[in-house]
Chains A and B, each alone.
Chain A
Amino acid sequence: MSYDAWILLTGSLVGLTCGVTGALLVLRKMSMLADAISHTVLLGIVGAFFVTQSLNGLPMLIGAAIVGVLTAFFVQMLDSSGVQSDAAIGVVFTSLFALGVVLISFVGDSVHLDVEHALMGEIAFIPWDTLTVQGMNLGPKAVWMLGFVFLINVLFITLFYKEIKLTTFDPQFAALLGIPVMFIHYLLMGMISLSTVASFDSVGAILVVAMLIVPGATAYLLTDRFLILLILSGLIGILSAVTGFAFAVLFNVSIAGSMACATGLYFILAFIFSPKHGILMKQIRKYRLSSEQS
C-alpha cells in the first residue's frame, strides 16, 4: 500500500474507534471526562517510559489505561465528596497533565517523546514505523494497535450492549435492576483510555478529543436511535479523517489538526442542515406553520 493510503487508513481507524466509543460518552454527558482522559494518558505514557525505558506499544497501552481509569476514579471521588463535577474534572486533568508535561522534560533528547508529539501526534511518520514479524513487513504498528483496540471496543459494546444503553439512559434504574453500573462506567473509561492511547501516536493527546466528542455530538443531531447513532458516529469519524487529510495535503498543514477541524465542519453542517434537529429545518418548519395559519 502507498504511503498516503497508510495515513488515510490510520486516520480512518482513529475516527472509527474514537467515534464509536466517544459517542457513548456524549450520551452519558461525560464528554469533558473524555477531554480529561485524553490529556492525562500522557502521564501514563511517560510513566510507562520511565518504568520500561522504551517506547513500546504494550506497556504504553497499559500505563495509559491505568492512568485513564485513575483519572475517572479521582473525578468520581471528588464528585461524590461534593465538588461540582466540572471543577472536579478541571482540577484532576490539569494536575495530571501538568505532571506528565513536566516529567517529559526530564526525558532525554535522544528519546522520541516530546511535548509537540504529545499534542499533535506524528501521523506523517506512522507508515515508517512498521511491525515486522520474522522478517515480514506487516504494515504500520499504529494500524495494528488501532485495529486491535477497535475490535476490543466493538466486542465489549456488543457483549454489554443493553447494559451500556440502560446505564447511560437511567443509571438509577439500572442499579435497581442489579446491573453493575460502576463496572460498566469503568469499562467505558478503560475503552476510552485504550482508544486515546492507540490514537496518541497519530493525532496526539489533545486532538484526539475532537475525534472522541465531535462525531458523537454530530450523530446526536442526526438520529433518534441508539445503535444508529453509534454507527453514524463512527462513519462521521472516518469521513472527517478523509476530508481532513485532503485539506492537509492541499494547504500543507498538520494532518491531525486538519482532521480534527474536519469534525468541526461536519458538526456545523449537521447543526444547520440536520433534517430533524438542524436550525434551518426548525426555522422552515416554523415558517410553514405560521404561513399555514395565516
Chain B
Amino acid sequence: MFDLLSNANTQWVLIGSIMLGFASGVIGSFVLLKKQSLISDAMAHATLPGVGLMYIIFEYKSIPLFLIGATITALLATYSIQLIIKHSRIKTDAAIGSVLSVFFALGIVFLTYISKNTSGNRSGLDDFIFGQAASLVASDVRMITIGSAILIILSALFFKEFKITIFDPLYAMGLGLPVRFLNLVLLGLVVGIVVIGIQMVGVVLIAALLITPPLSARYWTDKLGRMTILSGVFGAVSGVAGTVISTIGEGLPTGPIIVLCASIIFLFSLLFGSKKGFIPKVVSTHEL
C-alpha cells in the first residue's frame, strides 16, 4: 500500500483530490446558502451530453474539448431551468428535475450513438459517469489542481461580496454592488468545479461534493467564514480518503467512495455537531 502511495503519480492524484475537495466544499457553502444545491446537481448531469457531443463532432478524445462541451451544456441547462421557472407555472423542483433527466438522457443517447455509429469506442467516456481516479493522466491531474486553486482564490477574493449578495441581494444592490455580475461569477465557480470534478467524481455524484460538506459544516458553526473553511476541509478529507480507498481496492469507483466518505462525515456531524447536532440538542433539552 505504501508502495502505491509513494508512487509519484499517485501523490499527484492525492494532491489533486485534496484541492478539488477543498474547492468544492468552499463553493458548496455558497451554493447551499443560495438554495441551489439541486440546480448544481442538474448542471452536473447536464455536462454529459456536452462531452458526448464534442466527441461526435471532432471524433477524437481531448479532455480540454470535452470540458468546453461540458461547460456549454451545463450553462444551457441552467438557462433552461431559469427560463422554465420564469415563463411558465412549472415550479422550481419540476423544472430542475425535468432539465436534469432530459439532459442526462441526451448524454446517454450520444454515448450509445458513439459506440454504435462511429469508428471510435467510448471507453474513457464512460468514466465520466462515475469518475475514475486511476485513469487520470498527469495533465488531467495538473488541470484539476490548478483549476481548483484558481477557484479557491476567486472564492476568497469575492468572499464578502458573495456573503452579502446571497444574504440580501436587494440590500447589496442598494450598496452599489454589481449583484448580477457577482451571481455570474458564482455561477462560473459552480460550473468550473463541476467540470473540473467530473473526471474524478463523475457527473452523477459530483453534486454531492457541493452539498454534503457544507451541510456537515453547518452543524459546527453559525459563522459563514468558519463554515466555508470547515466545509472545504471536510471536502478535502473526503476527496483524499476516497481516492486512497479506491486506489487500494482496485476497481472500486472513485466518485461513489468519495461521496460515501463525505456522507460519513455528515452522519457524524448530524449526531455530534456542536450546533444543532442531535446529541448536544438532546442533552440541552434535558437540562431545560
- Residues in A lying within 8 Å of B, measured CB to CB: 26, 29-32, 34-35, 81-84, 86-87, 89-91, 94-95, 97-99, 101-102, 105, 115-116, 119-120, 206-207, 209-210, 212-214, 216-217, 220-221, 251-254, 256-261, 263-264, 267, 271, 277, 279, 282
Task: Given the known inter-chain contacts A31-B96, A105-B253, A279-B88, please indicate yes or no for A99 contacting B260, CB distance below 8 A.
Answer: yes
In Å, the complex CA distance between A213 and B81 comes to 14
Cβ B260 vs Cβ A98 within 8 A: yes
Is B101 in the interface zone, CB < 8 Å from A?
yes
In Å, the complex CA distance between A105 and B259 comes to 15
Contacts of A277 in B (CB 8 A): 88-89
Cβ A102 vs Cβ B256 within 8 A: yes
Shortest Cβ distance from residue A112 to the other chain B in the assembled complex, whole angstroms: 18
Shortest Cβ distance from residue B87 to the other chain A in the assembled complex, whole angstroms: 5
Cβ A101 vs Cβ B105 within 8 A: no
Contacts of B117 in A (CB 8 A): 251-253
Q: Given A105-B253, A207-B104, A277-B88, 16 more contacts at CB 8 Å?
A: A29-B91, A29-B93, A32-B93, A35-B100, A86-B93, A91-B208, A91-B215, A94-B259, A115-B129, A210-B102, A213-B94, A213-B98, A221-B90, A257-B107, A259-B105, A260-B104
Shortest Cβ distance from residue A196 to the other chain B in the assembled complex, whole angstroms: 13
Segment of B35-43, B153-161, B221-229 engaged in the interface with chain A = B35-43
Which residue of B89, B91, B101, B110 is within 8 Å of A206 (Cβ)? B101
Cβ B101 vs Cβ A213 within 8 A: yes
Cβ B90 vs Cβ A91 within 8 A: no
Cβ A87 vs Cβ B260 within 8 A: no
Is B116 in the interface zone, CB < 8 Å from A?
yes
Is B97 in the interface zone, CB < 8 Å from A?
yes
Cβ A206 vs Cβ B96 within 8 A: no
Cβ B130 vs Cβ A90 within 8 A: no
Shortest Cβ distance from residue B17 to the other chain A in the assembled complex, whole angstroms: 16
Task: Given the known inter-chain contacts A89-B38, A90-B41, please indicate yes or no for A260 contacting B105, CB distance below 8 A.
Answer: yes
Contacts of A32 in B (CB 8 A): 38, 93, 96-97
Which residue of A30, A89, A90, A98 is within 8 Å of B256 (Cβ)? A98
Is B252 in the interface zone, CB < 8 Å from A?
yes
In Å, the complex CA distance between A87 and B30 comes to 12
Cβ A105 vs Cβ B97 within 8 A: no
Cβ A257 vs Cβ B106 within 8 A: yes
What's the interface size class on B, roughly? 35 or more
Is B112 in the interface zone, CB < 8 Å from A?
yes
In Å, the complex CA distance between A212 and B101 comes to 10
Cβ A31 vs Cβ B129 within 8 A: no
In Å, the complex CA distance between A264 and B279 comes to 45
Residue in B closest to A116 when the chains form the complex, CB atoms: B126
Cβ B89 vs Cβ A91 within 8 A: no
Shortest Cβ-Cβ A-B pairs, 4 listed: A260-B105, A264-B102, A94-B208, A210-B101
Cβ A252 vs Cβ B88 within 8 A: no
Which residue of B35, B37, B97, B257 is within 8 Å of A34 (Cβ)? B97
Contacts of A86 in B (CB 8 A): 35-38, 93
Which residue of A31, A89, A101, A260 is within 8 Å of B253 (Cβ)? A101
Which residue of A87, A214, A258 is within 8 Å of B37 (Cβ)? A87
In Å, the complex CA distance between A81 and B24 comes to 25
Task: Given the known inter-chain contacts A97-B204, A253-B116, A257-B109, please indicate yes or no for A30 contacting B263, CB distance below 8 A.
Answer: no
Contacts of B89 in A (CB 8 A): 220-221, 277
Contacts of B91 in A (CB 8 A): 26, 29
Cβ B108 vs Cβ A119 within 8 A: yes
In Å, the complex CA distance between A209 and B212 comes to 22
Contacts of B208 in A (CB 8 A): 90-91, 94-95, 98
Contacts of A254 in B (CB 8 A): 108-109, 111-112
Task: Given the known inter-chain contacts A86-B37, A251-B113, please indicate yes or no for A210 contacting B105, CB distance below 8 A.
Answer: yes
Contacts of A221 in B (CB 8 A): 88-90
Is B5 in the interface zone, CB < 8 Å from A?
no
In Å, the complex CA distance between A184 and B256 comes to 33
In Å, the complex CA distance between A253 and B104 comes to 14
Which residue of A105, A209, A279 is within 8 Å of B252 (Cβ)? A105
Is B255 in the interface zone, CB < 8 Å from A?
yes
A-B contact pairs, 9 of them (CB 8 A): A26-B91, A35-B100, A99-B263, A120-B112, A206-B204, A207-B101, A210-B98, A220-B90, A282-B87
Shortest Cβ distance from residue A162 to the other chain B in the assembled complex, whole angstroms: 23
In Å, the complex CA distance between A207 and B105 comes to 6
Cβ A260 vs Cβ B93 within 8 A: no
Residue in B closest to A32 when the chains form the complex, CB atoms: B93
Residue in A closest to B214 when the chains form the complex, CB atoms: A87
Task: Given the known inter-chain contacts A90-B208, A210-B102, A271-B84, please indicate yes or no for A101 contacting B256, CB distance below 8 A.
Answer: yes
Is B27 in the interface zone, CB < 8 Å from A?
no
Cβ A90 vs Cβ B37 within 8 A: yes
Residue in B closest to A33 when the chains form the complex, CB atoms: B93
Contacts of B256 in A (CB 8 A): 97-99, 101-102
Cβ B205 vs Cβ A98 within 8 A: yes
Is B251 in the interface zone, CB < 8 Å from A?
yes
Task: Given the known inter-chain contacts A105-B252, A279-B87, please indicate yes or no for A94 contacting B96, CB distance below 8 A.
Answer: no
Is B32 in the interface zone, CB < 8 Å from A?
yes
In Å, the complex CA distance between A97 and B259 comes to 9
